[in-house]
Chains A and B, each alone.
Chain A
Amino acid sequence: MLTHEEIEHATKVLGRRPNDTELAMLDVLWSEHCSYKSSKRWFHLFKTDGENVYLGIGEGAGLVDIGDGILVGVAMESHNHPSQVDPYNGAATGVGGIIRDVISQGCRAVGLMNCLRFGHPSKPKNAYLLERVVRGISDYGNSVGIPMVGGEIEFDDSYEGNCLVNVVCIGVVRPDKVVRSSARTPGHHLVIFGSTTGRDGIAGVSFASETFSDDEEEDRSAIQIGDPLAKKVVVDTLAQLVEEDLVDGLQDLGGGGLTSCAGELAASGGTGVEIDVAKVPLRERDMTPREIIVSESQERMLAVVAPEKLERVLEILIENDTPHAVIGSVTDDGYFTVKENGDIEARLPISLLVGGFPVPERTEGSLPVQPHTMDWYEEPDDYVEEILRLLGSVNIASREWVYSQYDQHVQSNTIVDIGENAGVLEFPLNKRLAFASHCNSFWTLLDPQQGTANSAAETLRNLVAMGARPILIADCLNFGNPERPDSYAQFVEAVRGLGRFSHDFDIPIVGGNVSLYNESEVEGKVRRINPTPQVMMAGIFEAGFAPVRRTLCTPWANVFLIGETLDELNGSEYQRLKLGRVQGFPPAYRPVAEKNAMEAVLNAHRARLIRSCNNVGRGGLAVALMKMVIGSDYGFRLNTTTVPGKAGTLGRALFSETSARYLAEVSESNQKQFLEIMARHNVPVCELALTVADHIADFGEFRVPVDRAEEEFRTSLSRYLE
């Protein structure tokens, strides 16, 4: 809802009080969701440029040049609030929205990812939400025919009452086919197509900019219903329009509906727009101009079409049997004019509507300083049980139950399925890209800046482990109410963390969104989500390089541990399982060590020295080793428990979550060259284990029964869902 100040401001600029339609338009465009009014002021901290950045943040998708005239496009977005209220449709339309963002840039959509957060699945309501969200994504994404290549799921009580659904869409386009989201030429037609307009989802963005109350069920009117068939037809139709160079500008209708879509087209083109709502194809009778102009009905696109191309455009739209209409035109007056059968219903300066809001004051509170002490830690009596417990933790266990519901192979470009460190897709000219997304919300809770940078580092390691060099970042920043100083401080600190990371590693951030107000009110008490800056990263492989997987693939090779292991169990999964909560200073972000390890591993990959490789992440060394055995025909026997670094005990070495570490399987003949590369990059390394022909996990002092480990890993999540 517009604040009193905002209405005053609009009245002053207009010289009159805005009418109801205008108020509704301002309400949606000035919502946090559309305007980024609390967050935008910090984006200067991000590295957003780079020599390969073809199109940066600001339009539907960021575009990055991967060489030889091929651009990869990415967009990332949240659909949290709708998914909490109606998990099936909320998640489905989230996927629909992110696809629109990418195709509206002229891209062919080639991959999807989704990152989810829920309360613990042992509670039926949380299991229900997960089941419905996954089904929504699966029904929609599978139907439109875009493969799922990766994602993440994390469970924590803080997401109970406010689940998170973040989605990514990946596209590909050639530079001459890129379509911009701007309306540059007065006199061009505005053509809406894809679906009809109804009352569904009216003011969804304002809804997404409020916190949940106990009666979330009442919020259902703001939900949109997805129609994957219509979306598939839009995808195909659009491909044809783009192929024939028929559109001069394009924007999808998402949050904020026509108001946001046409407003942004005019704002970026420096023009105005005039729309007659009577021409919009409707699916419900008696809709008011206000309802039509802010409706968020799904599967709609708005194209800017030059007069001489209109005939052919309409021909294609008719041929594809998709609802469409010419609803207005681009003007040169800098106004957004809404008419109904010729009568003016609303008229607002574009400069006021798009970004003309009075910047609200936000206060950055101070966050508690976390102690480094680990006095809670006790060396475990039974390492085997601890390792099995970690493998069975819902935050570590296999997600196969989820991702087997996603079509991962449609389009026939999938080189590596979900379940490895990253998913890999083949692009034109045999270029291969890996995609991963990660956020450790326990780290970010304890220290938003360190945690965010380190989550980004872990995402990076997922790519590097497979042999891909990171080239771009997209993000989705999910936080609580920015009007609360402590919540706002979490947000600002996380932005600082991600900003630091992007500069340290020189990886541009080319897309993303911000979702604030992720709080629920349960019995009068506010429950805020853990700060969740979801980081997605893409990396590219050298030509001809076959991605390296994590399962052990030869007997009698050595498994090297790359990087130092420190006493960093605060914020770890081990601590969370022990204490039922996390506390203390989380594993530190160590850019120098991280960069050295990255370069060393990539160099070793380039020389084809590594047979299998794993990132050491959640659960530490023990879990990383076990994951290399699960699904392999082979096993390992630990050579040493004396690892480089300062981990004081075996338990600390096994469960610490220190960053900048990898495990690499290197065959005997390659060891010398491998160790030389490590030394050249100043990376501490130790010969941790030997691979063996038996399917065993021998830690020296103890053995983990592999069949039990596999059982724990494979069934610990699905047991709550079957």
Chain B
Amino acid sequence: MRIHIPQSIAEAMSMRKELPEAPFFAGGTVVYALGHSYDDAIDISKAVGSEIFHTMRHVHIGAMASLEKIRLSELSPKVLRDAASFCPSLQQRNAATIGGNAAQRRDDGYLTAALLASDPTVVLMTEEGKAEATVSDYLAGRADGLILEFVFRKNLPGEARRIGRSSHAHMAVSGARVGDAYAYTASSSGFASGGKDCWQELGFKDDLLGSADYKRYLLSVMF
């Protein structure tokens, strides 16, 4: 694998145009881990920020912010801090990033439900320039681009939960709620956000982590 290290966002986008199959390489816990091999990857660690800061009404979290940094920052929304701790290993949390986690668009992603429930704005760099998208559009693949940061409303209440067989096992289900907004994930079954019962929209499937019935039941009693 050839690893390309752009020094700026513009350079990163330019490289991506030349190498459309090359993934952006953030923390490395997925792209560079076991079982993944690419001819090229674009290391965005020098191009994209990892800062967490707040303005009058918002909290900004750079896409390269690690899960551990998010977990420890008092600025981070509580629901996101909860979810960051779902990544059970300190070494992994030190490496994995919010941008990388979201970019996987996984239904067992540590942050997926928390992001959906807290509904931040995703700031993207696209071929057309900077753009904003809702996180649900991004996670559903309706918006795309290099994630630069997430912008959350300040002082969000909320909580996130996961259920898996053990701390390091994949999550069978997860859920998050922020006020009246709920979001759920179920492994192999997708994710949904909306009202408390929005889990019913999921197409539950059996997999290694449990039967469809099990996952459906868990989400029905999660909150």
Decide whether A and B assemble into one complex. Answer: no
- Measuring CB to CB, which residues of chain A are less than 8 angstroms from any residue of chain B? none
